[in-house]
Amino acid sequence: MAGELEPKDKNWIENTRSYLGDIRSEMKRVTWPTKERVQSTTVVVIVSVFIFAAYFSVVDRVIQDTVVKAEQRLIK
């Protein structure tokens, strides 16, 4: 713990160069998806969003109607 508080020997320029070098080497090891894979997963996400939107719209409408009917019965 005490060692963490001690200043490092490298200056900020060397730290930045080291950091960017690490990023560059990590990015070379990344397996990037194909264009077709990206397009298919995008379609799945968009369709899922519309399905969830429709579901929540129906549930919201049912809850709204129930609350309105309950309020009208309580007012009478």
pLDDT of residue 23: 95
Decide which of 10 and 60 is more confident. 60
Contact 15, 8 (CB under 8 A): yes
Predicted confidence (pLDDT) per residue in 31-57, tens digit = 999 999 999 999 999 999 999 999 999
For 17, 21, 22, 33, 71, the CA distances from 26, given in Å and listed in that order, are 14, 9, 6, 16, 60
* Token pair in block for residue 50: 């519309």
> pTM of the full predicted structure?
0.58
Assess whether pLDDT exceeds 90 at residue 10: no
